[in-house]
Chains A and B, each alone.
Chain A
Amino acid sequence: MIAVIGDRDTVIGFALSGVKNGRVAENKEEAKDALKEFMETPNIGIVIITEKVAELIRKELDNWKNQKTLYPVIVEIPDKKGVMEREDRIEKIIRRAVGVVPEELRG
């Protein structure tokens, strides 16, 4: 099952593609609640979350991922305002694993 957490437009957008498990989160509390709800739902394979919301609940997200299970996979996507300028989560993971990332592999 796929779940979406994000601003209203993101949730509507994914609803148009057929993903009905969307929760609108505009602030930290809403984001936390949404995350908690999905953590308790069995069979969630993929969580799509906007970068902005992910930043709000970074700690909770990391905790969840540290449970070292294969699923759910969390995918962070930009929202309608575009990509945030920062080192994203996957880039951080890559850097930690192999030290420096060779120039040609940078995104």
Chain B
Amino acid sequence: MPEEILETAKPTRMELLALRKKKTLAEKGHKLLTEKRDALISRFFDIIKQRNELRRGLNLSISGAFSSLIDTEMLMGQNRIENMSYAIPDVGEIQTGMVNIMGVHVPLINSKIEERKQNYSYIETNAKFDEAVEKFRDVLCKVLRVAEVEGSIERLAFEIEKTKRRVNALEHIFIPRLKATVKYIEMSLEEREREDFFRRKRIKAVIQK
């Protein structure tokens, strides 16, 4: 495969010049893309570190929140808790946006949820219920942070894969092919030169006879 030459290439000087230009461009592009890939990957690793930390925190909070929830369910019963949950105000819309990390759009999520007045009845609930509400609010905040980071990981991973594919295509297919074609044209031109040279010698000899 790498020795393959471009089929459209005609062995002319014009074509040779054009191909040389193309080759330089491809090499420049390859260098740039390699740099982009390395930069993306180092950024990617930073974000993975963040994600691992946030995940660990989230998983801990979740198990804590569930144990409170289950405690209060034992005291009040699942159905009553479900009914009480209707009295809790909706978090509503969350603010989302995007940021640009080296040309990649990644999600940006506001993890601050507005503190709203709790208007469920304190008579019908107990302390464990309050605890569960508090803990699940905390879980929600953490979920939002994790969502932002994991969304970023997904987008960056996608971009890294794409850049890698391009780098590989340039490195293993495109540039070798251009090189082979340039070499082929150079050889044909030289060959033609030699033929010409020989022809001239020959004619000179014939004329001198």
Q: Convert B19-54 into 0s and 1s, putting 1 for each residue whose CB lies closer than 8 angstroms to a CB of A.
A: 000000000000000000000010011001101100
- Contact B96 A71, beta carbon cutoff 8 Å: yes
A28 in contact (CB, < 8 A): no
Question: Which residues of A are found within 8 Å of B59, using beta-carbon distances?
Answer: 77-78, 83
Cβ-closest chain A residue relative to B154: A93
A8 to B81, CA, bound (A): 11
A18 to B156, CA, bound (A): 31
Sorting the interface of chain B by its residue count into under 10, 10 to 19, 20 to 34 or 35 or more gives: 35 or more
Interface-lining segment among B86-94, B166-174, B177-185, B188-196: B86-94
Whole-angstrom distance between the Cβ of A78 and the nearest chain B Cβ: 6
- Contact B143 A75, beta carbon cutoff 8 Å: yes
A55 to B94, CA, bound (A): 27
A100 in contact (CB, < 8 A): no
Q: Interface of chain B, helix or strand or loop or mixed? A: helix
- Contact B44 A98, beta carbon cutoff 8 Å: yes
- Contact B136 A17, beta carbon cutoff 8 Å: yes
Sorting the interface of chain A by its residue count into under 10, 10 to 19, 20 to 34 or 35 or more gives: 35 or more
A94 to B153, CA, bound (A): 8
Whole-angstrom distance between the Cβ of B46 and the nearest chain A Cβ: 10
Question: Which residues of A are found within 8 Å of B81, using beta-carbon distances?
Answer: 12, 16
- Contact B157 A16, beta carbon cutoff 8 Å: no
- Contact B148 A18, beta carbon cutoff 8 Å: no
Question: Which residues of B are found within 8 Å of A77, using beta-carbon distances?
Answer: 58-59, 62, 143
Q: Convert A91-107 into 0s and 1s, putting 1 for each residue whose CB lies closer than 8 angstroms to a CB of B.
A: 00110111001100111
Question: Which residues of B are found within 8 Å of A9, using beta-carbon distances?
Answer: 66, 69-70, 73, 78
Q: Which of B63, B89, B132, B150 contacts A82 (CB 8 A)?
A: B63
Q: List 28 A-B contacts (CB under 8 A).
A: A1-B93, A9-B78, A12-B82, A12-B85, A13-B65, A14-B140, A15-B85, A16-B81, A17-B139, A18-B89, A18-B137, A18-B140, A45-B109, A46-B143, A46-B147, A48-B143, A70-B155, A73-B107, A73-B109, A73-B150, A75-B147, A77-B58, A77-B143, A78-B63, A94-B44, A97-B160, A98-B44, A98-B157
What are the nearest 5 A-B pairs in CB distance? A18-B91, A97-B157, A17-B136, A15-B85, A73-B151
Given contacts A17-B88, A46-B147, 19 further A-B contacts (CB under 8 A): A9-B70, A9-B78, A12-B78, A12-B82, A16-B81, A16-B85, A18-B89, A18-B92, A18-B137, A19-B91, A19-B140, A45-B109, A46-B143, A65-B154, A73-B107, A90-B153, A93-B153, A94-B157, A105-B45
